Amino acid sequence: MCLVNTATSTASTELRVAVLGARGKVGSEICRAVTAADGMALVAEVDAGDSLEMLVESGAQTVVDFTHPDVVMDNLQFCIDHGIHAVVGTTGFDDDRLDQLRTWLAASPATGVLIAPNFSIGAILMMRFAAQAAPFFDSVEIVELHHPTKADAPSGTARRTAELVAEARRAAGSAPMPDATSTALDGARGADVDGVPVHSVRVRGLVAHQEVILGELGETLTIRHDSLDRAGFGPGVLAGLRGIETHPGLTIGLEHFLDLPG
Amino acid sequence: MCLVNTATSTASTELRVAVLGARGKVGSEICRAVTAADGMALVAEVDAGDSLEMLVESGAQTVVDFTHPDVVMDNLQFCIDHGIHAVVGTTGFDDDRLDQLRTWLAASPATGVLIAPNFSIGAILMMRFAAQAAPFFDSVEIVELHHPTKADAPSGTARRTAELVAEARRAAGSAPMPDATSTALDGARGADVDGVPVHSVRVRGLVAHQEVILGELGETLTIRHDSLDRAGFGPGVLAGLRGIETHPGLTIGLEHFLDLPG
Amino acid sequence: MCLVNTATSTASTELRVAVLGARGKVGSEICRAVTAADGMALVAEVDAGDSLEMLVESGAQTVVDFTHPDVVMDNLQFCIDHGIHAVVGTTGFDDDRLDQLRTWLAASPATGVLIAPNFSIGAILMMRFAAQAAPFFDSVEIVELHHPTKADAPSGTARRTAELVAEARRAAGSAPMPDATSTALDGARGADVDGVPVHSVRVRGLVAHQEVILGELGETLTIRHDSLDRAGFGPGVLAGLRGIETHPGLTIGLEHFLDLPG
Amino acid sequence: MCLVNTATSTASTELRVAVLGARGKVGSEICRAVTAADGMALVAEVDAGDSLEMLVESGAQTVVDFTHPDVVMDNLQFCIDHGIHAVVGTTGFDDDRLDQLRTWLAASPATGVLIAPNFSIGAILMMRFAAQAAPFFDSVEIVELHHPTKADAPSGTARRTAELVAEARRAAGSAPMPDATSTALDGARGADVDGVPVHSVRVRGLVAHQEVILGELGETLTIRHDSLDRAGFGPGVLAGLRGIETHPGLTIGLEHFLDLPG
């Protein structure tokens, strides 16, 4: 652990931020983004082997947690106990874990925890626009394209997009999508996620990309997100940090902190 | 003119629609779409040389006007005088014309007129999403691509998109877009529309396409609309027809009839 | 049948062309293209019910056949017997049929027959470039996108592209493509065509589109073909007509008539 | 300077490579790629302040030069004098410099120098395919998209592509491109490079991308290159190193070392 900044050297109006998982690939980008941002100070970089007590010693008001499902619950229990807000990008939260967080937060009602499956503002907007547009079109399909070292297909973002599109179509009473395919090779028409076809491309040189293609008679609308660099998480994490003090309790999804219409 | 359907043969709950400009390229597609749609009946197909009296004889409740700037004001005066609603795709409305329409409509307060620069739902959503997303990104540029027989560059849709993006950026207090270009050939960086660069591609084989590219550190969001066929206007015109009875007075822009969030 | 042009009224240097299947969707576009082209004359439009004798009466030197697998062999036997060249877009040629054609042509050695699975020059170039580029990249995948009334998935063009890419990779001794997918939904990774993943998107508003995505460390190359209109076949058929007199015997694939490097 | 590998420790069949500009962004990627490659050894990493004598001491057979126009001629004179081949990515070669290189090489006829404006194999193939395809289409336009810290517009690759396309069109006797634009904002139709419109997009989050769009009646062909990472230069530099011993004299353009058809 590294105490980056003592409490006395930080301007009193700055948000004091500690990063858990500070030496990971994403964590180190987050440290850089917090350091460069106006209105906040990086006061501790914590990683495996460091004591959480350093959060208290550094006077951190909020942590960013990009660690591991095995340790994140211990981290959050410590933070909530000490009234430290948390902006969390670590994965692996099921209903049991979320209920546990709510119980802990009930005993510390001024503390906020944001669990965000995705800190990319572009990806959040893509999902939102896709769901908003879906009822106006007959067909919606998703093509997601990633580097070939990715383990899962489709990506989590593609699955989530498909679910949001399917919900929007159900709410609007949309008819089933047209598809006259009568002769197909296995897999040609993609995976079926809640009725939405999803196609996963894995090509060397790609990073993380997704296209949602919506169509009706005579026209198509395509919403594409390209994530070319982990630095793309920075603005989303900063938005989370800026909103956390005014959002006590548990929030799931960064979109609730963004000033989005609709 | 062709009286398609006599009043007595139309189900009483159906909207009785006449098409002005019925033999034009767009008009004939609209006739087809109205005929095929549930809940409405095509009662007259009117074109140059036909008498507007046929609108009254056919019992039309609403007209669709895809004619010409030279005749559209006469058409609309006739319709408003007779309490017939109008859904208008004809171009050429300046402030004087809109004021004239408001004056006529004041004397027929139950009548509705919709002036829509664009009936493509995909284009409307593209413009809306681009404006909503713009404040979250550092850069926004527009590439519009059309067939080489188009006379104007940029397209009207591209200009309008740029204006909406510029307005949204001003409202959000966005910083100027980054651009370190120091050596450029004339025209390389596109046209400047209210501070937004717009690039116009003209290639044989294309129809009508537009991409809005938004970017911030590490990620881009691209919203693309492809209009491949005049049939793409059909669903938008039908949405206009379905909404016109409950929107008396003058409405500018089909988006006001769509159930859009935000 | 329509005798469009009598032999005497045609300039002696013009190629005299008859179209079989002249009232079909493609055939009527071909008639238009031949009529508009320099150096050739449309001398007969033949369709079901017309007598093939009209080919002789019209003095046709070459036919274009866009008819049906059930009648195309009879058409070609008649043409070859009468020394009339044929440019054929009709499908359904297996090895038996091709052997039969070769036998007939052996008896009429000056006559040429071109069987072309694809008359789109853009599609031919896409396939050619994809195969040429494949050995320089680690990964190749194909995404083909069509209207939802298409019966087969993947498209014939996508299958053929995948086969050509696979052949080129084998000839170059390419290593297997990288793919670390360990958890996948059925179909997510597409159809396997000779080792090349192919993804078939079916969305209303699309026409016929294909992307070949090739990638290696740090870069990707994407070759995309968009066919927006049957008129796209015109230039390819004209190229076939212009080359047929100098290519006696059986030729399979329009690429052999194009002046392509490599 | 760092002597990475002494002559005796290198397998005799391995190509002994030194990198000039080894601590630069590209140079360090090249060092990594050479180290990882089969059949070659990195024997020296040279940067500003190091003596070129170290090339001789390390037994380098070939250098890779990614330095600066101010020093590259001195580097090459030294290499040619000592019979060391050179693969050069440094820019700034005009006709005078190329003539000077030819003079030096005449005195050392077994030595090879490759000057390559672009080591990206994807970019080279994009340019080649664009030029090969151009004569088959009525229209060709180029859209290049880069990060907003780029100083020049259009990019060097886009200018070169436009020149190659223009040459190919002239050689084929292509008609002027169709363009009915009669009302345009300044810059809307892009920069004119040898008759080919080029559009330069600058958006934060982009890296280096280019699309060549070719179209004829009813169809378009789009060739797109995305360079997401400097690592994309690695395979091209390795191809240069593998070919340099069998290409004595001056070669301009990596394409001459690639086994490309056509």
For residue A35, give both structure tokens.
């350091």
Is residue D8 over pLDDT 60?
Answer: no
Give residue A8's pLDDT band: very low, low, confident or very high (50, 70, 90): very low
Instruction: Specify burial of residue D57 (Cβ count, 10 A radius: 0-12, 13-18, 19+).
Output: middle
* Neighbour count for residue A209 (Cβ, 10 Å): 21
In the predicted model, what is the mean pLDDT of residues D144-149?
97
* Confidence at residue D12, expressed as pLDDT on a 0 to 100 scale: 64
* Cα-based distances in Å from D79 to D7, D16, D72, D83: 18, 14, 10, 6
Strand partners, D139: D215
B106 contacts: CB under 8 Å, gap ≥ 6? none
Catalytic residue, chosen from C85, C146, C199, C225, is C146
B190, B200, B205: residue with CB nearest D218: B205
Polymer length of chain D? 262
Round to whole Å and give the CA distance between A66 and A20.
Answer: 6
User: Which residue is catalytic, options A85, A146, A199, A209?
Assistant: A146
**pLDDT value at residue D229:** 82
| 8 Å CB contact of A183 and C138 | no
**Is C146 one of the annotated active-site residues of the chain?**
yes
Facing residue for D139 by CB, picked from B148, B189, B190: B148
- Residue D5: pLDDT over 60: no
B105-157 pLDDT per residue, tens:
999 999 999 999 889 999 999 999 999 999 999 999 999 999 999 999 999 99
Looking at chain A, the whole-number percentage of residues with pLDDT higher than 90 is 86
Statement: residue C185 has pLDDT above 50:
yes
- Give percent of chain B above pLDDT 90: 86
Place of tokens 């190091």: D50
Alpha-carbon gap, residue D201 to D207, rounded angstroms: 11
Question: What is the per-residue pLDDT across C61-120, written as a single tens digit (0 to 9) for each?
Answer: 999 999 999 999 999 999 999 999 999 999 889 999 999 999 999 999 999 999 998 899
Rounded distance between C-alpha atoms, residue A193 and residue A180, angstroms: 19
Residues of C in contact with D123 (CB under 8 A): 219
- Select from D239, D158, D242, D148 the least CA-distant residue to D192: D158
Query: Does the structure's ipTM exceed the value 0.90?
Result: no
Two structure tokens written together for C259: 């002046």
Residue the block writes with tokens 């170290």: D54
Q: CB of B226 within 8 Å of any CB in chain C?
A: yes
Say whether A146 is catalytic: yes
- CB of B125 less than 8 A from some CB of C: no
Within 10 A of B60 (CB to CB), how many other CB atoms are there?
A: 27
Nearest Cβ partner for D120 among C219, C224, C227: C219
Report the distance separating Cα D199 and Cα D13, nearest Å. 48
Tell me the average pLDDT of chain D: 93
Assess whether pLDDT exceeds 50 at residue C6: no
Q: Is A140's pLDDT higher than 70?
A: yes
Cα–Cα distance, A165 to A158 (Å, whole number): 10
Angle of the D69-81 helix axis to the D95-106 helix axis, nearest 10: 10
Is the confidence at residue B4, as pLDDT, over 80?
no
What tokens were used for D73?
Answer: 């001629």
Asked if the model's pLDDT at residue C7 lies above 50, the reply is no
- The pLDDT-based confidence of A262 (bands split at 50, 70, 90) is low
- For strand D40-46 and strand D15-20, is the pairing parallel, antiparallel, or unpaired? parallel
Q: DSSP letter at C99? A: H
Structural element, H or E, at residue D97:
helix D95-106
Question: How many Å apart are CA C86 and CA C76, to the nearest integer?
Answer: 7
Q: Are B253 and B116 in contact (CB under 8 A)?
A: yes
With beta carbons less than 8 A apart as the criterion, state whether B212 and B161 touch.
Answer: yes
Average pLDDT over residues D168-190: 97
How would residue D234 be classed by pLDDT, with cut points 50, 70 and 90? confident
Cβ neighbours of residue D247 under 8 Å, at least 6 residues apart? D112, D114, D256, D257
Averaged confidence pLDDT in chain A: 93
Helix, strand, coil: what percent of chain A each, to 5? 35, 25, 35
What average pLDDT does range D69-85 have in this prediction? 97
Query: Beta-carbon neighbour count of residue B12 at 10 Å?
Result: 7
Whether B107 contacts chain D with CB within 8 A: no
Q: Is the pLDDT of residue C4 over 50?
A: yes
B neighbour chains, 3+ CB pairs within 8 Å: A, C, D
The length of chain A is 262
Q: Is D255 on the interface with C (CB under 8 A)?
A: no
Hey, is the C-beta of D192 within 8 angstroms of any chain B C-beta? yes
pLDDT tens-digit profile of B31-50? 999 999 999 999 999 999 99
- Count the neighbouring beta carbons within 10 Å of the beta carbon of residue A137: 26
State percent of chain C over pLDDT 70: 95
Instruction: Return the number of other C-beta atoms located less than 10 Å from residue A225's C-beta.
Output: 27
Under DSSP, is residue B146 helix (H, G, I), strand (E, B) or coil?
strand
| pLDDT score recorded for residue D200 | 98
Rounded Cα–Cα distance for residues B199 and B45 (Å): 39
Would the pLDDT of A10 be above 60?
Answer: no
The residues, ordered by sequence, that sit 6+ positions from B258 with a Cβ below 8 Å of its Cβ are A136, B121, B124, B239
Query: To 10 degrees, what angle do helices B121-133 and A121-133 make?
Result: 150
Predicted confidence at residue D11, as pLDDT, reads: 56
Average pLDDT over residues D222-247: 91
